[in-house]
Amino acid sequence: MKMISQKTIEETVVKLFKKAVTTLPEDVVSALKRAYENENNKIARYNLKAILENIEIARKKKIPICQDTGLPIVYVKLGNVEVENLYESIRNGVKKATKEIPLRPNVVNPFTRKNTGTNVGYRIPEIELELIDEDYLEITVLPKGFGSENNSALKMLSPNEQDKIKDFVLETVISANGKPCPPIIVGVGIGGSADYAMKLAKKSLLRRIGEKHEDNVVKKMEEELLNIINKTGIGPMGLGGNTTALDVKIEYADTHTAGLPVGVCIQCWAARHATAIID
């Protein structure tokens, strides 16, 4: 079995963060273009046009799309491969990315607010590990901006309150209003435990725009939520318009008979993420 070196992992992490913060995935760009074409509100069209121009400038000049280059979150799928110092490799990759791209140093101690200067700190970057039965290592980076993250919410519904799931999601979006820089992508996690529901909500944001859930019940809820969210009139940047959300993504897990956790994780229009496979 071939060893994946620490250097290879570090370099991959740097490249992924550079791609993520400078170039939006094509599905997100296409959704923003459709929103612009379908918008009839003058101010909303102006905001969407500015967003699209910003995306193109960042792509051409290889500079960050937004000044908030996010909290570093890394998803790892570890297959039947040997890796050298995976944890340290990822942390070193984040440090290098922060210096070389550069990324804005956002990571601070929650009590003293002292900045580490490297985007690496105690238990940060967040690393989510999944074991897979494949012959490769997959790394996905999700630099999560906090203008949108600050509007995340969790509610522990009663087991018989399935009819209140959509109400809670809508309430969360309305409360957020223009703060997360809409048009947004709404990630929803249902079931599991409290923390798992929030993790599912965030992980759902990695799915492509327009990619609906394979479960018909979940798919229907995604479509219904997107429709009612876009009828709120919040619009791009919270200044009115037809497009408040580009998509709604739901992931779920079975849960305890006595509970119904629901987590909501909002993503701004700059839905930055990038994936690489090392085999």
Of residues 142 and 2, the one with the higher pLDDT is 142
**What mean pLDDT comes out for the span 143-167?**
98
Q: Which backbone phi and psi does 159 adopt, to 5 degrees?
A: -55, -25
Would you state the pLDDT for residue 193?
A: 98
**What mean pLDDT comes out for the span 144-162?**
98
Residue 239 makes CB contacts below 8 A (sequence gap 6+) with 43, 44, 47, 178
pTM (two decimals): 0.96
Q: Is the peptide bond before 183 cis (omega within 30 degrees of 0)?
A: yes
- In this structure, are residues 243 and 183 in contact, taking their beta carbons and an 8 Å threshold? yes
**What mean pLDDT comes out for the span 234-253?**
98
% of the chain with per-residue pLDDT over 70: 100
**What mean pLDDT comes out for the span 229-243?**
97
Distances (CA, A) of 78 to 75, 204, 245, 250: 10, 19, 33, 24
pLDDT digits (tens, 9 = 90+) for 245-276: 999 999 999 999 999 999 999 999 999 999 99
Would you state the pLDDT for residue 229?
A: 98
Length of the chain: 279
Whether residue 148 has pLDDT greater than 90:
yes
Average of per-residue pLDDT values in the chain: 97
Whether residue 279 has pLDDT greater than 90:
no
214: its two tokens = 């394979």
DSSP-derived pairing of the beta strands 3-4 and 82-83: parallel
pLDDT digits (tens, 9 = 90+) for 8-23: 999 999 999 999 999 9
CB atoms within 10 A of CB 269: 30
Residue-by-residue DSSP string for 21-81: HH---HHHHHHHHHHHHH---HHHHHHHHHHHHHHHHHHHHT--SSS---EEEEEEEE-S-
DSSP-derived pairing of the beta strands 126-131 and 71-78: parallel
pLDDT-derived band of residue 160, with 50, 70 and 90 as boundaries? very high
Whether residue 27 has pLDDT greater than 90:
yes
pLDDT digits (tens, 9 = 90+) for 76-111: 999 999 999 999 999 999 999 999 999 999 999 999
- Please give the Cα distance from 275 to 257 (Å, whole number): 36
Would you state the pLDDT for residue 111?
A: 98
Would you state the pLDDT for residue 2?
A: 76
Helices (H), the chain: 6-22, 26-38, 42-61, 86-100, 146-149, 165-176, 194-203, 216-229
pLDDT digits (tens, 9 = 90+) for 111-132: 999 999 999 999 999 999 999 9
Would you state the pLDDT for residue 233?
A: 97
**What mean pLDDT comes out for the span 208-216?**
96
**What mean pLDDT comes out for the span 180-197?**
98
